[in-house]
A and B are shown apart, each in its own frame.
Chain A
Amino acid sequence: MENFRQINLLVNKQPYTLAIKPYVSLLDALRDYLDLTGTKKGCDHGQCGACTVLVNGNRVLSCITLAVMKDGAEITTIEGIDHPLQNTFIEHDAFQCGYCTPGQICSAIGMLREGKAHSRAEVAELMSGNLCRCGASMQIIDAIMEVKSGGSNE
């Protein structure tokens, strides 16, 4: 069929070649074509943050990113994450249903790398693109602050 593009993605250090239509989002490419379903779809409009992944180290909303735009990029999804935040999220009970959690963790890693947040309030502000309907906000920021400050919570 016409309109298929061939792209290369390095996802969690694994090379993939995909033939997809240009209108396939990076989120759908990860979930439906590469079977990496850890990245979640919560709105498909860039409004909830559940689909956050790291592209070349930066946090990106994969639902409003077309896969073809990331040809050649290095992508890390929750399946490729090995980070202290995973333990602090468990320890602080920073999730209930767990659906927003992959996005929260990827977003937090990206946020810490950006280096713009210097206080609890700034962390909360810069994490506010990731919604949590279970209401675990306080625990999520607690978990991030513990990693950010290497143990202390403020």
Chain B
Amino acid sequence: MTQIGKAISRLEGWQKVTGSAKYAGDYNVPDLLYGYVVNSTITKGHIISIDTSDALALPGVIKVFTHQNRPGLAWFDIMYTDMDAPPGTVFKPLHDNEIKYNGQPVALIVAERFEIAREASALIKIKYEEMHFETRLDRNIEKGRNAKKGLATALKPPPPKPKGDFSLAYDESPFKVATEYRHSTEHHNPMELFATTTVYEGDGKLTIYDKTQGTINSQIYVANIFGLHFKDVRVLAPFVGGGFGSGLRPQYQLFFSVMAALELKRNVRVTLDRKQMYSFGHRPQVIQKLRFAAETNGKLTALSHLALSETSQFEDYAELVAEWSHKLYPANNTLFSYKLVPLDLYTPIDMRAPGGSTALHAIECTMDELAYQLKMDPLELRLKNYAEIDPSTDKPFTSKALKDCYLKAAEKFGWNERNPEPGSMTHGNKLIGYGMATGIWDAYQFPARVEIGVNAEGKLLVNNATTDIGTGTLTVMTQIAADQFGLSLDEVTFGYGDSKKPFSMFQGGSAMTASTGSAIVIAANVLKKKLLDKAKEITNSPLKDAELKDVMFTHGRMYLKNQVEVYVMLTDIVQANKGKTIKTTNLGAPHMFDLRKYSKMTHSAAFVEVEIDKDLKTITVTRAVTAVAAGKIINPKTATSQITGSMVWGISKALYEETILDENLGKYMNMNLGEYHIPVHADIKQLEVIFVEEKDELINELGVKGVGEIGLVAIPAAIANAIFHATGKRINNLPIHFDELL
């Protein structure tokens, strides 16, 4: 193994620094038409009339699509269902005159030029009949109900049943904390605008450049809705300008681009503008109530976490919120609940560390309050309640190096220099606060098929339909594949971002390295056997008596483990195969049967320093250290960036970002990057990452767990706890604004 574990720079780096990396909206194919979407300005009701005559009269406008003239489409709701659809009925663009949410797409203008389509959008006159709507979670608490069950429930089961007698234990415990947390809506806002360029190939064939986290998900969606053969729909996404969950489901620009291309028999691009990026999918508003109780020695006796979240009127989007505390901490008495309130908004969608980042903020702030009540160091309280086996299932972990995370990060940070008294640490005109928190995330793995082969030049070709949304997938998969045959990176080509390649789920859940990576190992082992069999067929083959266990591979050779000088060149094997690439396609899948007795978790510990201006109360995160236990790290460079990027997201969640909802209008009020605040470069100071050793021989072929989200979950609580340490104020609603400290 020589490539795995190396800090390799991204293999597609040069394309990204020279502008040659092409994203979905960058394909200027011949005779391209431009689509511009018109969105509803009311929140709920009906369209009475749409007057498109002025728009159509504008020179250069080709067509205006509305619910009145859209082509006939698939009849059954199930045909619109994508791989990530929650239980319910999928939203169908231009289906009828009903308005379900503010910003719902109601028309598509197609024109010769982008500017003309946009100009025409201002000329569309729509009359609406408005109805009463509800968009605020906190005004509709009484409507909370259990989430409907469906396919998605497999990954998002309801919280575990109660244990013991929570109320009694809570009442009788000497130390207890009851807390409430409110989170605003958030939008993913990847830098790339959602865009689809559809190339009309004729004969019912389409080539589609889509902004998506799942090429096959988009392919299935298009084929089903428009009645095309799967093989005639090719979806490409070689570069994706960030996703963070927003591309887990096909978004409406895909629908519109394909509909217009098929109807007009032309190449059509639809690019959403930034405001429209707020018209599909978001992290939901959540209200959480927690009650934790402990003995005098700090041992937890009772845990309760009740969460109330929003969903749309048509789908039941659920997150895992209520159960995390019991995956971290043992307690004999528990009470968990997760309920949904349907509101007149679009269905929420997974956003980086969905559920976990919401829950861990509440859990780890509640633990901090409890530590103060107990007069115990917050880190000591975590160690006192450290779980060697998963308390929520009584199953052992495949691996868990959280204790190492705590200790290594605490040492690096200098936690022992902390004076626990709030407001006691200062630096000039600044209050200094130290805070810490724990992180936990699922170690998911999805099924994936990988094609792997050796060609006449002795190069290794590896193919899978996954995307690389900036995670480093191309680089990491190339490293994994290279090591299977002892090759250098330039001897391996990883093909991806193409629905024609073998199956991959969408890129989400921090699961890609485990999913596609494990499938590469499995397929490589099959290929090795195939190569050996072919090698034996060569006349006077020096390997004719060898078995798979006897041979090894390095730089284009298959050789005897115990006799290095006895070898066959891979190029000679392919030549003996008449020069045809020798290849195999195999499925990698989670070891469901073996792993059913285990809990599979990634862990982290975060330590944060904040500086708060004594007079102005402005908050700066001056230092943050995150230690992560995520099994084997394939590429420390790209993995570190996943963690520091997530830490920036944690800082953003704690201090900056929120979509503000006007309940009278039922619409978001800050749908632009000037008013939707995310950290700028000047807000980000020193971020440090430690990967602790965590050997996991059970979880999958590679011993990897994924690093896309674990870096985010602990940071918001660590910041809120540091703010308390600096000021003595507990601000439980995110984001924390400095004026709340005045």
Residues of A within 8 A of B (CB): 1, 21, 23-24, 28, 31-32, 35-45, 47-48, 50, 77-79, 81, 85-87, 89-91, 93, 95-102, 105, 121, 124-125, 127-141
In angstroms, Cα B12 to Cα A90, docked, is: 9
Is B687 close to A, CB under 8 A?
yes
**B434 CB-CB contact with A under 8 Å:** no
Q: Knowing A24-B115, A40-B192 are in contact, say whether A133-B678 is a contact too (CB < 8 A).
A: yes
For residue B109, give the distance in angstroms from its CB to the closest CB of chain A. 16
Q: Which of A23, A77, A97 is in CB contact (< 8 Å) with B242?
A: A97
Given the complex of chains A and B, what is the CA–CA distance between A139 and B471 in angstroms?
Answer: 15
Q: Which residue of A lies closest to B190 (CB)?
A: A133
Of A32, A42, A44, A139, the contact of B28 (CB 8 Å cutoff): A32
Show 18 A/B contacts (Cβ-Cβ < 8 Å), sorted by A.
A32-B28, A32-B113, A35-B28, A37-B22, A37-B28, A38-B18, A38-B19, A38-B20, A47-B674, A48-B274, A87-B17, A91-B9, A95-B17, A97-B192, A130-B681, A131-B680, A133-B244, A136-B641
Stretch of B258-266, B449-457, B601-609, B646-654 with 4 or more beta carbons under 8 angstroms from chain A: B646-654
**Bound CA–CA A129/B673 (angstroms):** 11
| Contact residue among A45, A77, A97 (Cβ-Cβ distance under 8 Å from B470) | A97
**Inter-chain contact A90/B470, CB cutoff 8 Å:** no
Q: Give A45 to B674 CA distance when docked, in angstroms.
A: 9
B649 CB contacts on chain A under 8 angstroms: 135
Instruction: Please determine whether B19 and A93 come into contact, CB atoms closer than 8 angstroms.
Output: no
Q: Are B113 and A43 in contact (CB under 8 A)?
A: no
Distance of A61 Cα from B578 Cα, bound (Å): 56
Say whether B679 faces chain A, with CB atoms less than 8 Å apart.
yes
Closest to A89 in B: B17
Majority SS of interface residues in chain A?
loop
Those of B645-665 within 8 Å (CB) of chain A: 645-649, 652
B19 lies within 8 A of A39 (CB): yes
Which one, B191, B471, B641, B685, contacts A99 given CB within 8 A?
B191
Q: If the complex has contacts A40-B192, A41-B193, A133-B189, are A98 and B239 also in contact, measured as CB distance less than 8 A?
A: yes
Q: Is the CB of B191 within 8 A of A42?
A: yes
The verdict on B72 contacting chain A, using a C-beta distance below 8 Å, is: no
> A37-B19, A47-B673, A95-B470 provided; 20 other pairs, C-beta below 8 A?
A23-B119, A32-B34, A35-B28, A38-B19, A40-B241, A42-B193, A43-B274, A43-B672, A47-B674, A79-B19, A81-B19, A86-B18, A89-B17, A90-B9, A93-B638, A97-B470, A134-B191, A134-B242, A134-B641, A135-B684
B: residues with CB less than 8 A from A are 9-10, 12-23, 25-26, 28, 34, 59, 113-115, 119, 189-193, 239-244, 271, 273-274, 469-472, 637-638, 640-642, 644-649, 652, 672-674, 678-687
In the complex, the answer to whether A86 meets B17 with C-beta atoms within 8 Å is yes
> Are A50 and B191 in contact (CB-based, < 8 A)?
yes
Decide: B673 and A131 in contact? CB cutoff 8 A.
yes
Contact B17 A128 (CB under 8 A): no
B681–A97 CB distance below 8 A: no
Q: Enumerate chain B residues within 8 angstroms of A50, measured Cβ to Cβ.
A: 191
Which residues of A lie under 8 Å from residue B12 when comparing CB positions?
Answer: 98
Instruction: Please count the residue pairs between chain A and chain B whose beta carbons lie under 8 angstroms apart in the complex.
Output: 181
Give the interface centre of A35, A48, A102, A137 by most chain B CB atoms within 10 Å: A137
Q: Which residues of A contact B685 (CB under 8 A)?
A: 138
Nearest chain B residue, comparing its CB with the CB of A35? B28
CB nearest neighbor in A for B11: A90
Given known A43-B673, A95-B16, A137-B680, contact A100–B191 (CB-CB < 8 A): yes
B191 near A28: Cβ-Cβ < 8 Å: no
Chain B residues within an 8 Å CB radius of A77:
19
A133-B189, A133-B678 given; A98·B241 CB < 8 A: yes
Instruction: Collect the chain A residues with CB atoms within 8 Å of residue B23's CB.
Output: 40, 99
Interchain CA distance A36-B26 in the complex, whole Å: 9
Residue of A nearest to B113 (CB): A32
In the bound complex, residues from chain A placing their C-beta under 8 Å from that of B25 are: 37, 41
Chain B residues whose CB sits within 8 angstroms of the CB of A24 once the complex forms: 115
Task: For B274, give the chain A residue with the smallest CB separation.
Answer: A43
Docked pose: A146 CA to B490 CA in angstroms: 28
Q: How far is the CB of A77 from chain B (nearest CB, A)?
A: 7
Contact A96 B59, CB 8 Å, known A89-B13, A91-B9, A141-B681: no
| Smallest beta-carbon distance B685→chain A, Å | 8
**Closest Cβ–Cβ distance, residue B242 to chain A (whole Å):** 4
Nearest chain A CB to B282's CB is how many angstroms away? 15
Q: Are B273 and A44 in contact (CB under 8 A)?
A: yes
**Would B190 and A97 count as touching, CB distance under 8 A?**
yes
A45 touches B114 (CB 8 A): no
